[in-house]
Structure 1
Amino acid sequence: MVLPVSRTNMEAHLYMDLHPCTCGEFRFARKNAVIALEDGDLASRYTGECARCGQPREFVFRLPTEISMPLGGDAVSYGGDEPSQLIDPGQWLGVADAYASQVPGDFARLDGEERRRARAVLNRATAAVDEVLKFIPGDADEVPAATFTSERGRQAYAKEPGRFRRSRLAVVRDAYAGMAGQLA
C-alpha cells in the first residue's frame, strides 16, 4: 500500500481529527516520530490511546519531498500548490464551514482576545477553501466529481454540487479573508 503524503503537520492533525476511533471519540494524546519506510522515504507516525476507550490509535503519513515552511504570523497553509491526498474537497469545505460557524456575526462586541481567536478561525476557514480550489483543474469551472473520495465528501457534493464551482468558492474565500481582515 502506498502511503498518502501529508504536506504539513497541520494537515496531518486535521486528518486525524476527521477520523474518530471506533468508539466515536476524536481525541487522543498524540506522540509523533519520524520513521524510515522500506523504500527509503520518510514518514511521520502518530500514535496514542483513545481518550475514551483506551484503544491504540496509529496514523502514518509519507513526508513530502519538499518540506513547507510555516508562513508565520496569522497566515495559515495546509500544504503547497497541489491538492491534498488525505482530505477530499467535500471534507475541506465542511472544515471551512465548521470554522466559520464559530465566529459571531457581530464583531463590535468582541474583546481583544475574542477578536484574535475569531481572526485565527477565519484564517483557517480561508485556508480550507483554498484547499478546495486546488482540486479544480486550471481549465475547469468546478471541482471534478471524481475527486470526492470520502463518504462525507460525496454526500456534501451530492447535497449541493453548486457549492463546488470556482466562482462560488472564490466569493466564500474572499468573504472569509475579508472578515479576518476586519478583525486585524
Structure 2
Amino acid sequence: MSLLLARTNAEAHLYMELQPCGTCGATEFHPRSSVVMAEGDLASRYHGACPNCGTEREYTFRIPEDIIFPEADRVRFGADEPSELLDPGDWLWVADLYTRHTPADPGGLPDADRARFGRDLATAVAAIEEVLKFVPAGADQVPPEAFFSERGREVYATEPGRFRAARLKAVEYAYRELAEGFLG
C-alpha cells in the first residue's frame, strides 16, 4: 500500500490529532518530525511517545510535489484535490468541533477570546472548504462512496442533507462572515 498524501503540515497534524492512541485512547500527541525517503517518495515522518501511556506512535505521509506554505491570514489544509487522510464526514465533524462553543456575537468578549474564536471559525471555514472538494464537478452533493472513515460515515448517516453543495456553501459563507466579525 502506498503512503497517503498529507497536502500540508496542518492536515497531517489534524489527522494525527484525530487518531487515538491504540493502547490508551488518548489523542494528545506531540511528535518529532523528519523528512525521509519512504517507498520511493519524499515523506514526512512523525514519531513519539503517547504522553499518557508511553506507547510509541508513528505516522509517515507522502509529501506533495508542490508544497503549500502556511499563510499568516488564512487556514488552509490542502490544494484543490480532496484529502486522502480525512473524508468529508471527518471534515464536517472538525468544523462542528471548532464552532460548537463559539458565541454568535463577539461583543463584550476580551480581545484574546475574540481572536481565539475567530481562529476557530477560520479553521471551520477551511474544513468546510475541504468537504466541498469532495463534490464532483456537475454534482450537487458529496456522493456516499466518498466516505471512508467510521466517523465520516456516522456523520453522513446522521444527516446526509448536510452534504448538499448549496448547504455547505451557505455554512461556509456564514462561518466566514462570523470569523470576520471576531477578527475585525
Q: TM-score, normalised by structure 2?
A: 0.96
- Give 1:150 deviation, angstroms: 0.3
Identity %: 50
The Cα of 1:29 is off from its aligned counterpart by 2.3
Question: Residues 123-152 of structure 1, C-alpha deviation per residue, up to 9 Å, x if partnerless?
Answer: 000000000000001110000111100011
Amino acid at match of 1:25: A
The match for 1:29 is 30
Task: Give the residue type in structure 1 aligned to 2:84.
Answer: Q
Q: Which residue of structure 1 aligns with residue 141 of structure 2?
A: 142
Q: Unaligned 5+ residue runs, structure 2?
A: none
Alignment of 1:34-53 (within 5 A): 34-39=35-40, 41-53=41-53
- The match for 2:54 is 54
- SS of 2:58's equivalent? strand
- Map 1:2-151 onto structure 2 (within 5 A): 2-22=2-22, 23-39=24-40, 41-73=41-73, 75-151=74-150
Report deviation, 1:37.
Answer: 1.9
Greater mean deviation of Cα atoms: 49-58 or 102-111 = 102-111
- The superposition leaves residues 63-90 of structure 1 with CA deviations (integer Å, 9 ceiling, x where unpaired) of 00110122222x1100101100000000
In the alignment, residue 152 of structure 2 is paired with which amino acid?
Answer: G
Counterpart position of 1:177: 176
Aligned to 1:154: 153
Give the TM-score of the pair, scaled to structure 1. 0.96
Residue 162 of structure 1 and its aligned partner are, at CA, apart by 0.2
Superposition deviation, residue 18 in structure 1: 0.7
Letter in 2 for 1:34: V
Q: Distance in 2 between matches of 1:10 and 1:112?
A: 25
Instruction: Measure how far apart 1:98 and its partner are.
Output: 0.3
Q: How far apart are the structure 2 equivalents of 1:102 and 1:128?
A: 16
Unaligned runs of 5+ in 1: none
User: Whole-Å Cα distance in 1 between the matches of residues 76 and 48 of structure 2?
Assistant: 25
Q: Residue 6 of structure 2 contacts residue 85 of structure 2 at CA under 8 Å; is this kept in 1?
A: yes
